[in-house]
Amino acid sequence: MKILISNDDGYTAEGIQGLYEALKGLGELTVVAPETNCSASSNALTLNRPLSVRQAANGFYFVNGTPSDCVHIALTGLLDFKPDLIVSGINNGANMGDDTLYSGTVAAAMEGHLFNIPAIAFSLVERGWEFLDTAKHVARQVVQMCQREALTAGTLLNVNIPNVSKHALQGMRVTRLGKRHPSEPVIKSATPYGEPVYWIGPVGKIRDATADTDFGAIADLSVSITPLRFDLTSYDELSSITQWINENETAV
């Protein structure tokens, strides 16, 4: 199995080092990751400047761009093969509920999904690496399951792992995305020259954490596995918007 590894915390991050170690022996591993931390970069591609690819002493490739840039470049020009699986992470912090829209970790996996390659994003839900060994254990287990029974082409899984010892884990649970309240207000400050600046505020409080959500699974110390898709179409509104257009277009 050929496995492409990326992340959003950068190629020197402890999480990607751990993911690489966790997957050793499971296939041919190639790492293509951002040069610097690109958290919350979502699916951004860099179009206003050329990108460079360099190789570190440990063999990891790093790109002066976003997570999506890394996987896109790997799949469309850097690699001379098509990976069987793309994995992203291990992220330093959760990627659950609405936050997945902003996540660079999920975006790296999403880029593989767009190229019809199975992809998995791994996140350790609380910052810090005290329980990185737990996340490594889960990542290896999930990839081994992929080897035993291959995921359908284009499958995208978002895996969040509680910060507990592997012996304290309460299994794995397939979940849907939960929801948060809107984010807290921005924090207004000023430069030494009196110019106003703004810090993005904290995330909102959780408002949907039932047992079938990612938030609910983590609260029960279970690994949350959420299948995602790129299609943002609101199918429930297709007929009502069609009716709205038909009723109003003659008046335009």
- Report whether 238 contacts 228 (CB < 8 A): no
User: Would you say 224 is a known binding-site residue?
Assistant: no
Cα-to-chain-centroid distance, residue 73: 17
Q: Is 208 annotated as a binding residue?
A: no
Cα angle: 234, vertex 176, 130; to 5 degrees: 135
163 is in an annotated binding site: no
Q: How many H helices and E strands in the chain?
A: 6, 13
Alpha-helical regions (H) of the chain: 14-23, 67-73, 104-114, 132-148, 214-219, 238-248
Secondary structure (3-state) at 75: helix
9 has binding-site annotation: yes
Residue with tokens 């902003």: 102
- Residue list, annotated binding site for a divalent metal cation: 8-9, 39, 91
- Residue list, annotated binding site: 8-9, 39, 91
